[in-house]
Amino acid sequence: MRAFFSSTLVAILLTSLIVSCSQYKDNHLVDGVSRELAIHRKGNISGVIYTLGFSIPVRLDAKIPATLEMEFLLKSKEDVVLDFKPHYTLVDSSLRGAKVNGESCRLLISGEHLVIPSRYVKAGKNRLYLEFDAGEQSLNRRKELLYTLLVPDRARTLFPCFDQPDIKAIYNLSLEIPLLWEAVANGKATTLTSTQYSKRIAFSPTEPISTYLFSFVAGEFQKLSNNRNGREINIWHRENDPLKVGQAGDIFSLIYSSLEWLEDYTAIDYPFTKYDIVIVPGFQYGGMEHMGATLYSDRTMFLEKNATITEELSRAKLIAHETAHMWFGDYVTMEWFDDVWTKEVFANWFASAIVNPLFPQIDHKLNFINSYLPPSYAEDRTPGANAVRQELDNLNNAGLVYGNIIYNKAPVVMDKMVEMLGDSLFRAGIREYLNRFAYGNASWDDLIEILDNHSDFNLKHWSNVWIKEPGRPHLFIASNGDSFETWEEDPLGRDLSWGKQPLEFDLVPDPRGEVYGLVIPDSALLALTIENLSKGRVVDDVARLASVINLYELCYDGFVAEEVFLNLVAGLLVAEQNPIVFSRMAGYLSSVIFEEHHLFTENLLSGLYKESKELYKRNMAFRAFANVVRSKEAANELYKAWDNPSAFEYVTPGERDLMKIAFSLAILFPEKYDHIGSVQSARLTSNDRLEEFLWIFPSVSPDKEVRDSVFSSLLHEQNRVTEPWAEASLGYLNHPLRSLNSIEYITPALEICGEIHRTGDIFFPARWFSALLSGHSSNEAARLVSAYIEGNRELNPFLKQKILQQSYHLYRK
């Protein structure tokens, strides 16, 4: 996928936009925030200060009255275009009391924009005052809580603004909230007045920040405070399980360690007023880096009591990731969302560097390979693969730029770059970058220019193929007498070269896990690899993991038979002593490509959870087992574990494990649906989790009519508000055991993908497609997906990529 528009078309659009800025009455402004509008505004507008007030009532259906006072400097006197796309139809009457520079003004409505006619403004400082009803699309409004999530271009759904990352602004916020609620925002809560039913909290002004980082949370929350070396951090949460709340000490400690590491590395003190985190039940991402009010999902922060070391490590990395964003993303921000990957690659790359010393028992080279290669390959191997950096014409497509390529391929590329530069030159370059663009914006080219100056190597040229082109190389290795011959091919026929990668053979190909791409050994080396692995000769963990990952990729792409891979892994799992390698191999067994081999995987995992000596192996194997159970015999075994978990001698499933197992069991034992539902409901200790369970449970009903009605309900936006629940429901409706009955869901679920994109958050479209398609494996499913794509030539190219990525397994045979 390349640019959206040809350059001629861009030129035409640019001209029409310039005209529409001055003659908006004749020309409708383009919806969203076009690149052209953003460039034009950046050239004319600066010094923006928003003063916002929201009055949040208890009643969910009551409107949220709001006020906006906005100060901005104009270079030249011209129409001022604001972005505003509330969920309601924007009419004059929903905007009240507009004044510009003290004078009453009728703002003009043009699609998703408000326009202040030029006659009301002047060059220099201007003031806009406006009363309006807040838009609610990104308010995540629920019974006892509400939180904003405005990334990437959703600030405009809440209030009128210049919604682009390079017009940074200072925010003054005040909130009126129900008396028993708490509120957290970017600034410090400074004043508080209360009445019988409500209270008003004002927050200190922010530093200059981008619209997508402005945030507040309000609701019934409890607060835990902690202090280290004079720095105070608060955790706000709604958890009532003491075992989970008891993990707060670990969380505080991870935050402090991350902050201290970053201050030391960058030589820049934490650049914002305060550091609070909010743990939100059912939060749709792992975390979101709003400074002063960083949001985390309860699932990733509060671990189950039988959590594995890899889950602990993931939590640590998530905290380090969001904390790294305070410097990379929040302090220095990309100019436009085509470079959003730059903040993500820094966050992920630094997260690895920060967490490594905290887990001395873990091999971090091993962990790096395990974290980044498999998810990156999952997208890069498909015809929907995208480049790390993608052209973006309009911010209304920015959410679709995110995916595994940004999060997982980019750190691999970054790692190669740091290796070329060396640690100290890289650090010097990073410090220069942060200082030069402090509280401002920078592009990838700005960064590469700085790093290039620190290096003799032509980084720009090297990085183009990695950053600006999709796909992975095929790397061939063949024995040639005493030596090995290696060569690279571009499977997409573009004749691209990714540059020299150090591919060697020592027992297995790439024993040090240094290459990115599909390594294809000749048949002799493939046989030797499998023999060396199965005979236990590959004692190095990195060599073993790298070769298993590559063999899985070879299996996925048809170079290795499924039976060969499964037999090999069966032997390796029994002997495996490394938790990371074990968990990766056990995870592969629930891959959709082994669905037909479920009797084999059930038996294997059942044996492992019962017979392994190590508790971590039993836990990991049991979780993987619960995912692959299809046969009656295995189902009975799983039922026994769930029915009386305290008598289950092999592992102790956690609350969330049991909830997940209950969903599977309801599918496996349709006649026990009601019983399973009532037993599991009675077990849940938290109201939030009970609500989640009851919400998802009808999707596993034995009654097709009930499931059909669940499916129909998911087609409506209001039933997808808590996205992880909607995703889980769609996944269970399309469970492999129900795939014959759910094939009819495929087309209608694809048909609303435009709406899924417009109304859903960043990761939701890909997750929607994955939940819909990963339980299917039939030719009919493939035919329906192809028919949808072929019948919709105008389909948004980003959405098409996502569908191709998530449906690739349907086409592999």
Pick the stretch among 239-247, 341-349, 455-463, 640-648 that binds Zn ion (CB under 5 A): 341-349
Q: Cα–Cα distances in Å, from 547 out to 343, 369, 374, 534? A: 30, 11, 12, 12
For residues 549 and 373, is the Cβ–Cβ distance under 8 A?
yes
Distance of CA 326 to the CA centre of its chain: 17
| Least distance (Å) between residue 340 CB and Zn ion | 9
Pick the stretch among 264-272, 338-346, 553-561, 779-787 that binds Zn ion (CB under 5 A): 338-346
| Least distance (Å) between residue 397 CB and Zn ion | 19
Assign residue 229 a region: left if phi > 0, alpha if psi is -120 to 50, beta otherwise? Answer: left
How far apart CA 787 and CA 747 sit, in angstroms, is 9
Pick the stretch among 37-45, 178-186, 342-350, 508-516 that binds Zn ion (CB under 5 A): 342-350
| Least distance (Å) between residue 210 CB and Zn ion | 14
Q: In terms of CB distance, is 79 or 289 closer to Zn ion?
A: 289
Using Cβ positions, the residue closest to Zn ion within the complex turns out to be: 347
Q: In terms of CB distance, is 409 or 618 closer to Zn ion?
A: 409
Q: Cα–Cα distances in Å, from 312 out to 61, 306, 327, 408? A: 39, 11, 24, 19
Pick the stretch among 58-66, 136-144, 346-354, 582-590 that binds Zn ion (CB under 5 A): 346-354
Q: In terms of CB distance, is 173 or 295 closer to Zn ion?
A: 295
Q: In terms of CB distance, is 375 or 383 closer to Zn ion?
A: 375
| Least distance (Å) between residue 348 CB and Zn ion | 7
Q: In terms of CB distance, is 202 or 347 closer to Zn ion?
A: 347
Distance of CA 32 to the CA centre of its chain: 22
| Least distance (Å) between residue 580 CB and Zn ion | 22
Site size for Zn ion (CB under 5 A): 2
Residues ≥6 apart with Cβ < 8 Å to 795:
753, 789
How far apart CA 759 and CA 329 sit, in angstroms, is 24
Site string for Zn ion, 624-643 (x = CB under 5 A): --------------------
Segment holding 294, helix H or strand E: strand 294-297
771 lines the binding site for Zn ion (CB under 5 A): no
How far apart CA 70 and CA 169 sit, in angstroms, is 10
Please report how many Cα atoms fall inside a 13 Å half-sphere around the Cα of residue 244, on the Cβ side: 20
347 lines the binding site for Zn ion (CB under 5 A): yes
Q: Is 578 helix (H, G, I), strand (E, B) or coil?
A: coil
Pick the stretch among 39-47, 344-352, 496-504, 629-637 that binds Zn ion (CB under 5 A): 344-352
Q: In terms of CB distance, is 347 or 762 closer to Zn ion?
A: 347
Q: In terms of CB distance, is 294 or 590 closer to Zn ion?
A: 294
Site string for Zn ion, 298-337 (x = CB under 5 A): ----------------------------------------
Query: Burial letters for 456-482: b for 16+ Cβ neighbours within 10 Å, e otherwise?
Result: eeebeebbebbbebbbbbbbbbeeeee
| Least distance (Å) between residue 275 CB and Zn ion | 16
- CA 708, 767, 585, 313 torsion-angle sign: negative
Q: In terms of CB distance, is 259 or 658 closer to Zn ion?
A: 259
Of 125, 150, 126, 128, the closest CA to residue 137 belongs to 150
Pick the stretch among 195-203, 340-348, 534-542, 623-631 that binds Zn ion (CB under 5 A): 340-348
Looking only at the bridges linking them, the beta strands covering 294-297 and 275-280 are parallel
How far apart CA 6 and CA 338 sit, in angstroms, is 17
| Least distance (Å) between residue 279 CB and Zn ion | 17
Q: In terms of CB distance, is 95 or 301 closer to Zn ion?
A: 301
| Least distance (Å) between residue 321 CB and Zn ion | 6
295 lines the binding site for Zn ion (CB under 5 A): no
Q: In terms of CB distance, is 173 or 334 closer to Zn ion?
A: 334
Residue 661 CB neighbour total at 10 angstroms:
25
Site of interaction with Zn ion (CB under 5 A): 344, 347
